[in-house]
Chains A and B, each alone.
Chain A
């Protein structure tokens, strides 16, 4: 589009008082940009001013006012490029004149004095101007075909609930269930935990009522004895091949080569062609991921509710608890099966089991952790099963030994009601052994609430083993994605299909596939039903977002998508490998094949690309690079002691709001730093850093989310990848005789605003200690 520029500077909120407006307006005017100021730009009159100009043809607006995180709705004008220059939070509020005094008339124009705050504001304005010159309005991506149908994998209580919720909202749903019947585990229990107020008593299983409800919806198709062979394509146009369990078909998904098969006999990497050959051999009989099954079914989004299986103890893992050697020691799932079939009897001799001990933690030494894959659900199930003992025998006794009794939320009411039962006995404690004692057993426990050591007689012992998600054994979703058929295992979730995003609980690492129920976390039926609703809503959000050509999350509504300039692609596959969401496939040569609907618009591919051929309409190598180049770097030619210039590349998700909050709280920090917001640290291309240093900036730091085990990165891997890249750039700097310390990365959380000033000032001080960049002035 032909850009007609307009620069608007608000003088409200203290901006006009702190800055020399005339000098500030001179900056765009010198470049030939028309400038207007207004004392209250976000007010009715101010907005009218903008609208009038837009009517007169202005279509590219640069607004110097508050942070873009506020008043974004006020300054949104359809069809116009609007960018904001953060003069309020990050200039005047965080650099008060009391600390950064303005120049007196005499000081102006000499070579000794300069106004750091004015320089900061002018630089930000220049950077904004550079940016709007380089960006375009994004146009939505629309896939060739599109369907609103939702696929639900798993016909248990979660899948059924999700299907009903989606059908209620008017979406067509297909449930695939590998067993011959739907209902899953929920249909195999004697009773279930309460699912509604007052959350006190056990209730009969609700699954039959759910199935009955399901049958009322003609939009729900149920396919039993069916599994997913592959899911190809992208949200809005997934092509799904279904098959009978165990069947071998052409459209079974191919698996990526295991690492060891990528090497030759000498342990060296095979070349690309050879690797491809081995890959084809490895997946013989299976169609390539890019081959679309002509008879596949189309789906818009997938809800993964494949559930869980009981934990299977390995060898004599729980020998000290008698599992395996004593027939009356069983797991909670086995106990449930017995309870569902009738009165509880000892498996060894069929006699009444009137004294049952429930063990919550395997308890070995200092390790007080519960059984693997346990959770609050296993605590609650023990309470439930203790009640079974009391239901079956008037003089029955149920003991629960726990290290953790987890009854979150209103489940506490259930705990309280169970506690009231005279025949149920609870104590914290470490169960050290279960041994035979005549016809029964003796359970010994240490460190209990009743004393150091106690022992009780037991007819049966029940171990609260956990719920292993189906994804531990099998990819289930069988994605025809280049990164592989399963969710990428980032080693943090024990095979649970969890994003660990507190903010985005149902989202997996694959856009368009939403997990719910036991596959996501060990959970109760009540939680699964609630989870199902969440996942159904996410699936619907995804479908509707694809229909509008916008991103689903976390950049909900973002219309941009990565664009590739393929002529210059060297097939290095870095983008395909590093995309945290497996959005890119590639052909046999290695040329990436983008799937924009799978993309979350983080820009990790853009940060990875050594050829710099990936970019978004409104965020690309050139737009940020131009901002970097727009920063004024004063040298000794300008001043006797020129100020340092430091670049801060700031993640928009947490770090940038934290900076705004620092301003809001009037926390001040160095005025020699220039911030550029980035979508994610993963999108930072090292060229920007090289540009900054080669034009004489003295240091660069990245400000982003925590990575590692407790990562907070909104795009899972972005800040971690940036960290790796920064370590690599250090070596390059050394070769240029620049100190490695000039480039660094900091981790912040959104609530860390009070820590930021020290973090920034310390870095500035460190760089000042290194001295000015020797390339300054070249």
Chain B
């Protein structure tokens, strides 16, 4: 018999999944209630039944590079209906968490992001970065760091110069893109191989153009959260997720606009509250805070679902970014210079944490799930 049929369970992998929130995975007795209950599972080779047995057999290869675990939106219908309390939703969540760590390099950083003990180190790392870089520049005569910015108006750019901020953030963005690029290269190959093995695709190879077309077709689904809102058990979660999702898009647009006005038009902030972009910024900020709070409320009220560190980490970051952002603005408008500069500093640390470690945190799902959904569309998975 060919080697491809040989199965070698990895007990360490099982234990790791159990640690990541899938501690119920061994309870599954393969009744397939989950696959029947799931509103978004495809009709052929539906998840999560097959993922459940692969998990209980410790078949890492069948799970980590499996696009299906990303098609799952963790709505929890399966978990609610599971007669054995195996919580397939949480098991898939654990698999995704494992997959994120698997595809993001360097791995030691991934381990740190998912380790609560490392949180202070990670969180304070941007502070160190800012201060060290700021002081070095000060020594060479570039004064981009000013601890006692004066003047009538509170201008955060006087505190941390925007050049300093972007000197750090622009390379960080590039590094995030690079890490994702490396990860996705392997991820795509793995999910294709897995789909070929499990007979989930009708395509031999991945064609770049067709794949991008598939992405185009899948975009409305993502933008409208169509799949997410098919979930029965967690209907409210689609709304809060949608709020956070669009607020990030809004803030992304705002950031780009201001980046443009600052470096191209040479107009620096703070900008007028009457400006349309500012409106978008304020609305997005408020929606982000509300969405973040709703998500936390959802998690707290769902006692039958497991919430692990990775979940709380991401929610904390999201809410932290929103809250500190809004507070920075409010204290600025309120004329509280000291607190405003401090909160701005904290805000920068949140933003750094959220984005620099994006490929290692749960937020990486925005990339993997998009790719997986695109692949499913591309492969004609129904």
Residues of A within 8 A of B (CB): 395, 397, 416, 419-423, 425-428, 442, 444, 449-451, 453-457
Contact = CB atoms under 8 A, between A and B. Distances in A.
Contacts, number: 56
B14 A416 contact: no
B30 interface: yes
Interface in B1-27: 1, 5-9, 11, 14-15, 18, 26-27
Contacts of B29: 419
A444 B5 CA distance: 9
B27 A420 contact: yes
Interface string B161-198: 00000000000000000000000000000000000001
B59 interface: yes
A395 to B, nearest CB: 7
A453 B57 contact: no
29 contacts: A397-B9, A416-B84, A419-B26, A419-B27, A420-B26, A421-B26, A422-B11, A422-B14, A422-B15, A422-B26, A425-B56, A425-B58, A427-B53, A427-B57, A428-B30, A442-B1, A442-B6, A449-B30, A449-B53, A450-B53, A450-B54, A451-B5, A453-B1, A454-B5, A454-B7, A455-B5, A456-B6, A456-B8, A457-B6
Given A397-B11, A419-B27, A444-B5, 18 more contacts: A395-B11, A416-B27, A419-B26, A421-B26, A422-B15, A422-B18, A422-B26, A425-B9, A425-B57, A425-B58, A427-B53, A450-B7, A450-B54, A450-B59, A454-B6, A454-B7, A455-B6, A455-B7
A444 B53 CA distance: 18
A455 B59 CA distance: 13
Nearest to A397: B9
A449 B84 CA distance: 17
A426 B50 CA distance: 13
A740 to B, nearest CB: 53
Interface string B66-87: 0000000000000000001000
A434 to B, nearest CB: 12
Interface in B22-77: 26-27, 29-30, 50, 53-54, 56-59
A561 B55 CA distance: 67
Given A425-B57, A449-B53, A450-B59, A456 B26 contact: no
B15 to A, nearest CB: 6
Contacts of B27: 416, 419-420
A174 to B, nearest CB: 47
B11 A423 contact: yes
Contacts of A453: 1, 5
Chain A contact residues: helix, strand, loop or mixed: strand
Interface in B311-337: none
B58 A422 contact: yes
A331 B311 CA distance: 49
A42 B198 CA distance: 74
Nearest to A456: B7
Nearest to B62: A450
A431 B14 CA distance: 25
B302 to A, nearest CB: 24
Contacts of A416: 27, 84
Given A420-B27, A422-B11, A422-B14, A444 B1 contact: yes
Contacts of A450: 7, 50, 53-54, 57, 59
A456 B7 CA distance: 5
Contacts of A422: 11, 14-15, 18, 26, 58
B176 to A, nearest CB: 35
Contacts of B5: 444, 451, 453-455
A391 to B, nearest CB: 15
Nearest to A453: B5
Contacts of B14: 422
B51 to A, nearest CB: 11
B203 to A, nearest CB: 21
A444 B56 CA distance: 19
B56 to A, nearest CB: 7
Contacts of B15: 422
Contacts of A442: 1, 6
A421 B25 CA distance: 11
Contacts of A428: 30
A425 B5 CA distance: 16
A497 B14 CA distance: 46
Nearest to A396: B11
Interface in B253-310: none
A397 B58 CA distance: 11
Contacts of B58: 422, 425
Contacts of A456: 6-8
B227 to A, nearest CB: 27
A450 B53 CA distance: 7
B352 to A, nearest CB: 38
A454 B198 CA distance: 13
A455 B1 contact: yes
Please list the 6 inter-chain residue pairs (A to B) with the smallest Cβ-Cβ separation, ordered nearest first: A422-B14, A420-B26, A453-B5, A455-B5, A454-B7, A425-B57
Nearest to B17: A422
B19 to A, nearest CB: 12
Residue among B56, B59, B84 with the most chain A CB within 10 A?
Answer: B56
A428 B28 CA distance: 13
Interface string B205-223: 0000000000000000000
A117 B279 CA distance: 95
B241 to A, nearest CB: 33
B167 to A, nearest CB: 48
Interface in B122-147: none
A450 B11 CA distance: 17
A626 B11 CA distance: 80
Nearest to B4: A453
A397 B57 CA distance: 10
A455 B9 CA distance: 11
Nearest to A428: B30
A416 to B, nearest CB: 7
Contacts of A419: 26-27, 29, 56
Nearest to A418: B26
A331 B9 CA distance: 24
Contacts of B57: 425, 427, 450
B194 to A, nearest CB: 12
Contacts of B7: 450, 454-456
Nearest to B28: A419
A6 to B, nearest CB: 63
A99 B27 CA distance: 60
Contacts of B50: 450
Contacts of A444: 1, 5
Given A425-B56, A444-B1, A449-B30, A457 B11 contact: no
Contacts of B6: 442, 454-457
A590 to B, nearest CB: 61
B9, B15, B27, B58 — which one has the most chain A CB atoms within 10 A of its CB?
A: B9
Nearest to B3: A455
Most buried by A among B8, B29, B50: B29
Nearest to B49: A449
A402 to B, nearest CB: 11
Contacts of B84: 416
